[in-house]
């Protein structure tokens, strides 16, 4: 089980600001030294950017919905002091393949936004910063939802032994009553 260190927590809370400043600086630098896109290229970039943003939003919505439901089940298990249900959901994390796919879509959206044609570079600057800020905030929320026991939003367990209990030994005991209540 992962534990968040103070350094990692500080980095994640400030990563939105750092990544926003770095992307805006690279956007402005690339605009100073680049040639403008043609009309067809601009329409293609706009179409791809919209499509990738739509896919990112749909998958992100499903991810948030699923994680919030599982965290709600954990919260109810804690309130009911139901250790079996708690252990069944405690170590459940977001699938790495889904995270990698969302990470790739995020990078494509940021890069697409940076090469999008703006007639005035000063109008493109707040747009690029806004898109990056939203995506960085999205990832901050994903990291918080991935581990509901660490970070800024956390579930507090009634007893520390709940976090150290092994689900294998708990569910393999001869007592038949130790089954998780999954209909919470």
Does the pTM surpass 0.85? The reply is no
Nearest to 30 by CA among 133, 125, 104, 108: 125
Q: How confident is the model at residue 6 (pLDDT cuts 50, 70, 90)?
A: low
- CA–CA dist 85, 74 (Å, integer): 7
pLDDT tens per residue across span 57-78 = 888 888 888 888 999 999 999 9
What burial class does residue 90 get, using C-beta atoms within 10 Å of its C-beta: 0-12 exposed, 13-18 middle, 19+ buried?
buried
Instruction: Give the residue extent of every domain in the chain.
Output: 38-171
**DSSP E strands, the chain:** none
């Amino acid at each position: 089980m992962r534990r968040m260190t103070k350094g990692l927590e500080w980095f994640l809370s400030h990563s939105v600001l750092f990544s926003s400043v770095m992307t805006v600086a690279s956007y402005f630098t690339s605009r100073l030294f680049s040639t403008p896109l043609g009309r067809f290229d601009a329409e293609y970039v706009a179409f791809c950017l919209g499509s990738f943003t739509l896919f990112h939003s749909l998958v992100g919505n499903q991810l948030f919905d699923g994680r919030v439901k599982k965290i709600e089940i954990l919260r109810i298990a804690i309130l009911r002091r139901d250790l079996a249900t708690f252990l069944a959901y405690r170590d459940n994390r977001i699938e790495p393949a889904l995270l990698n796919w969302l990470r790739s879509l995020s990078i494509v959206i940021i890069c697409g936004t940076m090469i999008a044609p703006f007639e005035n570079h000063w109008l493109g600057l707040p747009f690029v910063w806004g898109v990056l800020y939203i995506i960085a905030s999205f990832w901050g929320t994903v990291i918080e939802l991935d581990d509901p026991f660490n970070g800024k939003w956390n579930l507090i367990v009634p007893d520390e032994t709940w976090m150290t209990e092994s689900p294998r030994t708990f569910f393999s005991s001869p007592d038949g009553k130790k089954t998780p209540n999954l209909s919470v």
